[in-house]
Amino acid sequence: MSMNKALLALAMGLALAACSNQKQAEDSAAEAASAATEAQQAADTAAAAGDTMAADAAQQSADAAATAADAAATSADAAAAGATAGAADAAADTAENAAEAAGQAADAAAAGAEAAGEAAGEAVDAAKEEAKK
């Protein structure tokens, strides 16, 4: 009876670990998708500001964030299908790393949008000064 209880406890522990890994991977994939959306919004803002170089850089960052979000989603699927706890854990870690990369790309896109906005503001100020002359 004691051996059965030990095996049951082990099985329950493995099941709990698998659920935890899947939840971690799903959360990471959701974070990555959110970061990709923010990055695309920043790229759109940069494009609207009219600074082509900043807009291109922001769009590249947004594309990188989208790629990272896709990788996180794929890893979340792998974590859900993981045959072993080790495989599920590795997939969850990969999803978390991809989400972090997506966040960094979103930050880069936001910085590009901010630079584009500043450049546009400076151009407007310069045009106003020129018009006064």
Alpha helices per DSSP H over 2-132:
2-49, 52-81, 85-132
Question: Cα(first)–Cα(last) distance of the chain, in Å?
Answer: 95
**pTM for the model:** 0.68
For residue range 85-119, list pLDDT tens digits in order. Answer: 777 778 888 888 888 888 888 888 888 888 877 77
Mean pLDDT, the chain, whole residue set:
78
- The Cβ-side half-sphere exposure at 12, using a 13 Å CA radius, reads 6
Look up residue 74 and give its amino acid: T
According to the model, what pLDDT value does residue 56 have? 86
Please report where in the chains the tokens 């009876």 appear, as a residue.
1
Q: What is the mean pLDDT of residues 48-62?
A: 83
Q: Are 89 and 21 in contact (CB under 8 A)?
A: yes
According to the model, what pLDDT value does residue 5 have? 60
* Phi and psi at residue 55, to the nearest 5°: -65, -40
